[in-house]
Amino acid sequence: MNSPAVAAPWDAKVDRLAEVAVTVGLGLARGQELVISAPLDALPLVRRITEHAYRAGASLVTTLFADDEATLARYSYAPDESFDRAATWLQDGLAAAYRAGSARLAITGANPALLAGQDSGKVSRANVAFSKASRPALELITRHEINWTIVAAATPSWAKLVFPNLPEEQALAQLWDAIFRTTRIDVPDPVANWRAHGAQLQSRVKLLNDLRFSALRYKGPGTDFTLGLSDDHLWCGGGSTAKNGIAGFPNMPTEEVFTTPHKDRADGTVTSTKPLSYQGTLIDGISVEFKAGRIVRASAKQGDAVLQGMINTDDGARRLGEVALVPHSSPIAQSGLLFWNTLFDENAASHIALGQSYSTCLINGDSLSKSELAAKGANESLIHVDWMIGSGHLDVDGVSASGHSVPLMRQGEWV
Ligand code: ZN
Ligand code: ZN
């Protein structure tokens, strides 16, 4: 990134990414506070975002940086009891900030395989402790009380995983290019492009909501699976309006339309089509069997211990909280890259998520109590983990309440 030949255009694109994240992704309001979380290597993007946030009228921007080296030091030297701890005070503070109206911007880009060589028991315990501590803040986010968004910054360790055969400098440049392309920064008018893209996804959402399927049926290699949709489910996608009235895009990029499955109505076998990076470890070759909504058998060819730890977090971790459809022709799938990062890989393939559901994907979901949500089939859990089941070989049918079946996707594409 230091070579003078690429410095100017790269700087300009990072600046555009920052501007689009603040204006289109967050829709940041004048006077609103902003909390950013970011890996240390994302500093150049953080600085540009901070500038654009203040120029958009942010009253205060606060950034929390995470450092991979410091995380590894914990695994090497911390006493055993460390792994049941989390900075609860910090998570409580974040929840307080969101309750007071702060927006949230997360920058993803940390090394997806950082903890791959670490003791999986410690990793699982640390994940559970973190999930518990961050529950109040996460609830405000999943209920969409505030406007929030996630964008990516290329970092050397992430780039090395995506482009293992390139020298570091080149890998980093290529990953930035992929981010700019898939995040629609590489077009003459990114803001207009995002608005048009959002409108297109919203028309797909409207169509699915008008069809009111009661279930989806999946068939593909290693997948034969029926998934009941939640009663009063609403398809979402193409951006959303938070309860504070601010419209934005929670994920950049986004190519998915998604809704809430019924937690007690999944049956059959599902096989993952891409590896999953979960809290610094890689899980690949996942195969699970559902009975009445609950995972009764799960295995992974790689990262099995972490997968088992994840689904044992709580009862809801064995049930589904999200189902999303993404065509195989999505620009991210067409890039042919495996990003090892859920923000990108989930937008390259149809996916399902174990754990917490989004109440915004239910009719009047945001005004329902926990027991009312559960009665509609909405799942509750400390985790929310997306994993990819789509490919160019996946067929999906929509099934109506009367049992009538309509082809939705064939060989991974919308019918
Ligand atoms: Zn999703
Ligand atoms: Zn998700």
Ligand closest to Cα of 346 equals: 1
pLDDT score of 376: 94
The C-alpha atoms of residue 240 and residue 245 are separated, in whole angstroms, by 10
Segment 171-185 shows an average pLDDT of 96
Q: Is 287:222 a contact under the CB 8 Å cutoff?
A: yes
In the reported structure, the alpha carbon of residue 270 is separated from the centroid of ligand 2 by a whole-number distance in angstroms of 17
Nearest ligand to the CA atom of 385: 2
Which ligand lies nearest to the CA atom of residue 388 in the structure? 1
Structure confidence by residue, pLDDT tens digits, 66-102: 999 999 999 999 999 999 999 999 999 999 999 999 9
Q: How far is the CA of 42 from the centre of ligand 2 (A)?
A: 23
55 CA → ligand 2 middle, Å: 31
Q: pLDDT per residue over 248-287, tens digit each?
A: 999 999 999 999 999 999 999 999 999 998 878 889 999 9
Q: What pLDDT score was predicted for residue 53?
A: 98
Q: Residues within 5 Å of ion ligand 2 by Cβ?
A: 322, 353, 386
What is the whole-number distance in angstroms between the Cα of residue 260 and the centre of ligand 1? 10
CA 67 to ligand 2 center in whole angstroms: 25
Instruction: Give span(s): CATH 3.40.1830.10, the chain.
Output: 11-182
Spacing, Cα 84 to ligand 2 middle (Å) = 25
Q: Which of these, 272, 224, 256, 259, lies nearest to 328 by C-alpha position?
A: 256
Q: How far is the CA of 322 from the centre of ligand 1 (A)?
A: 7
Ligand nearest to the CA of 141: 2
At which residue do the structure tokens 């570091």 appear?
168
Ligand number with the minimum distance to the CA of 256: 1
Give tens-digit pLDDT for 15-67.
999 999 999 999 999 999 999 999 999 999 999 999 999 999 999 999 999 99
| CA–CA gap between residue 139 and residue 170 (Å, rounded) | 39
The Å distance, Cα 19 to ligand 2 centre, comes to 25
What six digits make up the tokens of 143? 């209920």
Average pLDDT of the chain, as a whole number: 94
Query: Which ligand is located closest to the Cα atom of residue 356?
Result: 2
Distance 322 CA to ligand 2 centre (A): 6
What is the rounded average pLDDT of the residues 223-241?
95
Q: What is the pLDDT of residue 231?
A: 85
Whether 371 shows a pLDDT value over 50: the answer reads yes
Which CATH number describes the domain made up of 11-182?
3.40.1830.10
- Is the Cβ–Cβ distance between 72 and 99 less than 8 Å? no
Range with lowest mean pLDDT among 90-94, 156-160, 170-174, 280-284: 280-284
Q: What is the distance in A from the centroid of ligand 1 to the CA of 168?
A: 30
SS (H, E, C) the chain: CCCHHHHHHHHHHHHHHHHHHHHHHHCCCCCCEEEEEEEHHHHHHHHHHHHHHHHCCCCEEEEEEECHHHHHHHHHHCCHHHHHCCCHHHHHHHHHHHHCCCEEEEEECCCCCCCCCCCHHHHHHHHHHHHHHHHHHHHHHHCCCCCEEEEECCCHHHHHHHCCCCCHHHHHHHHHHHHHHHCCCCCCCHHHHHHHHHHHHHHHHHHHHHHCCCEEEEEECCEEEEEEECCCECCEECCEECCCCCEECCECCCCCEEECEEEEEEEEEEECCCCEEECCEEEECCEEEEECCEEEEEECCECHHHHHHHHCCCHHHHCEEEEEECCCCCHHHHCCCCCCCHHHHCCCCCEEEEECCCHHHECCHHHCCHHHHHHCCCCCCCCEEEEECCCCCCEEEEECCCCCEEEEEECCEEC
Q: Provide the percentage of residues in the chain whose pLDDT is more than 70.
A: 98
Least reliable range by pLDDT among 110-124, 144-158, 210-224, 315-329:
110-124
Q: Is the pLDDT of residue 361 over 80?
A: yes
Structure-token match 């700087």, residue found: 11
| pLDDT at site 5 | 42
> Residue 314: is its pLDDT beyond 60?
yes
d(CA 283, CA 271): 12
Q: 343 CA distance to ligand 1 centroid (A)?
A: 8
CB 108 within 8 A of CB 114: no
Give the ligand at the shortest distance from the Cα of 253: 1
pLDDT at 105 (0 to 100): 98
Task: Please give the pLDDT value at position 7.
Answer: 42
User: Near ion ligand 1, which residues have CB within 5 Å?
Assistant: 256, 258, 324, 346, 386
Centre of ligand 1 to C-alpha 321, Å, is 10
3: pLDDT strictly greater than 50: no
Q: Please, which pLDDT band fits residue 366 given cuts at 50, 70 and 90?
A: confident
